[in-house]
Every structure is written in structure tokens, then in C-alpha cells.
Amino acid sequence: MSVSFSHRVEALAYDVVTGIMRCLPFAFVSGLGAAVVKLIGPLSSKRHIVETGLRTAFPEKSDTEIKALVRAQWDNLGRTFAEFPVTDRLKPFEKNSRITIVGLEHFRANQPAILISGHFANWEIMATVLTQSDHTVRITYRKINNPLIDARVRKQREAYGTKFLVKKSSHAGGRELFEALRSGESIAILNDQKFNTGIEVPFFGEPAMTAPGAVRLALKTGHPLLPMIVTRDKSRFTVTFYPPIELSKTGQRDADVLSGVKRVVAFTEDRIRENPAQWFWVHRRWPKALYRRQK
């Protein structure tokens, strides 16, 4: 991919912001990000996407409750973006860490596993835990359009241990994940965003295209589908590993995949209901028609 002038300007701005953040304490950086995005978020084009998503998922909530959730999710989003440049400071397995780990026994007892999660709180925290654990975990990623920023992000992830990145939505990436499992390594996939070539299943009652790859790998390899989630309390985090999701194995491949995807989506919905402001609502999860309908 060629590097344009705008790519260079964006990369320069990224470097300036990152340099400033790295001079500040973690908690201050987190709070600063929250304050800034709570100011600019409501002025952005993403505001309608956020409000539509929350009203779709929680039709029973009043306007006042929706407005409070909108504001709270800007807080979470600002913290998440601001924390990224200093994530390498976090050591989840050291004493007095900002990260509390719950259910680690599920992770240790189910190796190798297909770990699935979503864009909750600061999702980079989950990668920090996985890559600093005693087990090798390959983590999928989506390449950033700006190649200069993509290189910087990869380097920053390597700083806290994430060295095994597999490109999403590619044949080579899928083969690499399969080979990793065969060699005894775990893999991790964020499974909650729109996937145009996936399977249509209800998400909070509305049809949504959903990636079936993790379920297909679990059915094909027999390795457990292990969900995990991160939640936050300001600049402190809890990473929770859950027991494996049980999959139907009737021998009817398409039906078993569909059933498994529905169970994964149900798990995601339950976690969103527990902490609705900590999910990534700026993503357009449903078809565009739904968002036009609610304008």
C-alpha cells in the first residue's frame, strides 16, 4: 500500500499524542481521555450510531437512561483510546497490578483453546493477559488503513507481549490459526463485530451478520470455545475467563455452526447487558437500513 501525504500527517499527529501520553501517569491518561471524548464524542458523526445501537438493544429504557448510557460509553471509549500508548506498563501477573484475573483455572485447564471475546472496556487488556501468560496465544487483528499507524500499533502491541498477530478474514490467516491449534497453541478472536460474509443471526432481536469462524474451528478441531471478557472500574480492570461454551455436534455441519454462533451471540448479549456502557457502540453492528430507520 502506498503512503500518502495524509497518511504522514496522521502518523505525525499519532506520534505527538502518543509522546505526550507516555509522559503522564496511567490513571491520569485514562481520565484525560475520558474527559476529552465526552466533550467531542457527542459532536461527532458517531453519535447517531451510538444512540441507535443503545435504543435497539434496550428499547425498554427511557430517554434519560439512554442519554446516561451514551455519556458513559463516551467515557469508556475515551479511556480506552488514551490508555493504548501506555498499555505496556501493565503487568497483570505482578503484585498490585491494575488488572485482576478471575477464572484463570478455565484458561489453564482448556489448552489449547479458541478464546473468544468482544470489544469490551479496553479490549487490549485481554491481549496483555494472554500474551503474558504461560501459554502461547495467537491473536487475530484487522489491519489499519494507514500503513504508518498500523506499523506503530503493531510495535506498541509487541511492547506488552503481543507478537503473534494473525490477519483477520484471510485464507492464509485461517490456515495459520488451524495450524496453531494443531501445534498446541491457543488462538484468540474478537467475535462481536459485523461480518458481511458471515451468518445472519439475531443480535438483540435484530438480524446481524456474524462471523462463524471461531465456531467452525471449534467443531473441526474439537478444541474448546472459551469466552473471556474485560470490564473496567475507571483505570482498573478485571479480566474474566468463563467455562467453555457447549456446542451441538449432531453431524449436521451447517446446523451445528448456526447453533454455535447463536450461543456465542447470546453470551455477548448477556455481557453487554451486565455493563452496557462498556461495549464498543460506535461500531455499526446492524445493517445500515436500521440506522436510517431511526433517524
- pLDDT of 79-108, one tens digit each? 999 999 999 899 999 999 999 999 999 999
Q: What count of Cα atoms within 13 Å lies in the side-chain half-sphere of residue 294?
A: 16
- pLDDT of 36-53, one tens digit each? 999 999 999 999 999 999
Q: How far apart are CA 138 and CA 146, in angstroms?
A: 23
Q: How far apart are CA 108 and CA 185, in angstroms?
A: 12
Model pTM score = 0.92
Binning pLDDT at 50, 70 and 90, where does residue 168 land?
Answer: low
